[in-house]
Amino acid sequence: MKLLRYGAPGREKPGLLDSSGAIRDLSGVIGDIAGEALLPESLARLAKLDPATLPIVPAGERIGPCVGRIGKFICIGLNYADHAAESNLPVPSEPVVFNKWLSAVVGPNDDVRIPRGSKKTDWEVELGVVIGKGGAYIDEADALSHVAGYCVINDVSEREYQIERGGTWDKGKGCDTFGPIGPWLVTADEVPDPHKLPLWLEVDGKRYQNGNTSTMIFKVGEIVSYLSRFMSLQPGDVISTGTPPGVGMGQKPEAVYLRAGQTMRLGIEGLGEQQQRTVDA
């Protein structure tokens, strides 16, 4: 299934994308694509629905973040060896963990606001993992059974704030609008191998990132198990798993950063596409 949320910011309704590409309204079945609705038994009930019996949503509705009421937005850094190299950083021996604040979450096609005074706002296409069944101290062999599904994430980053201003990475990662999520939450049964997915990103039509999740250092099961040693994971938690090379910071002979008035377009095979316009905050 391809689950989604549509409507005005803060008032999104749950939906389902049918085989023809039409959005079907799920609000008569569940309250939101969130929390207990992401448990395995809840997704199994949704899978039994005949989409043709659900109301069609008129075309043109805004698509919101594909997960509601997110509890934690956890990110993994430097998870592709060639991205670590372009960042002039060593390949990590354990996953690099940081957070995005929940105020960063926006829809897949919403504007991205460049912070006031920013000179180094950057892009990162990433595979998103959404937790279904929660838990702590999850065995790696069982970890994928805790995944409700996958989505596209743009881990927008302000490099000066992240790297040059001291402290942790978080303040350069969690600015408002720096976490576009969606368009769809594609349930795990439709993604038999999350480590065989091409992913890409373009700015103003120029392709900068063109990678594949097969080159991730730490795989999805390992990441879920690792994180669960340090925190319990709950339904609806979102994990962003790192980016392949091609970010603006790594461009040669000199870095390239975003400015207002540009368009980012990005996607992952089978998981959909995003498109954001950059604006001044």
pLDDT tens digits along 156-166 = 999 999 999 98
Q: Which CATH code, of 3.90.420.10, 3.90.850.10, 3.30.450.20, 3.40.190.10, is assigned to 67-280?
A: 3.90.850.10
DSSP conformational letter for 57: P
Q: What is the pairing mode between strands 157-158 and 147-154?
A: unpaired
pLDDT of residue 90: 82
In the chain, where are the structural domains located?
Answer: 67-280
Which residue type occupies 204?
Answer: D
pLDDT of residue 26: 98
DSSP conformational letter for 42: H
pLDDT of residue 82: 78
Looking at the chain, list the stretches that DSSP marks H as alpha helix, in order from N- to C-terminal side: 40-47, 81-86, 159, 170-173, 220-227
17: confidence class by pLDDT, cuts 50, 70, 90: very high
pTM value > 0.85: yes
Closest-CA residue to 66 (of 149, 168, 133): 149
pLDDT of residue 127: 98
Residues 172-195 have pLDDT tens digits of 999 999 999 999 999 999 999 999
Which residue type occupies 76?
Answer: I
> What token pair was written down for 138?
């999850």
Alpha carbon distance 13, 212 (integer Å): 32
User: Is the per-residue pLDDT at 201 higher than 80?
Assistant: yes
What's the whole-number mean pLDDT along residues 19-43? 97
User: Is the per-residue pLDDT at 10 higher than 90?
Assistant: yes
Alpha carbon distance 99, 137 (integer Å): 20
pLDDT of residue 81: 81
Contact by Cβ (8 Å): 26, 54: yes
Alpha carbon distance 61, 103 (integer Å): 22
Q: How many residues does the chain have?
A: 281
Average pLDDT, whole number, for the chain?
A: 96
How many helices and strands (H and E) does the chain possess?
5, 18
Neighbour order of strands in the sheet with 13-17: 23-25, 13-17, 2-6, 185-187, 147-154, 125-131, 238-240, 73-77, 96-99
Residues 74-118 have pLDDT tens digits of 999 999 987 878 877 788 899 999 999 999 999 999 999 999 999
Rounded percentage of the chain residues whose pLDDT exceeds 90: 94
Alpha carbon distance 51, 197 (integer Å): 27
Residues 208-237 have pLDDT tens digits of 999 999 999 999 999 999 999 999 999 999
Contact by Cβ (8 Å): 39, 33: no
User: Is the per-residue pLDDT at 28 higher than 90?
Assistant: yes
Contact by Cβ (8 Å): 159, 122: yes
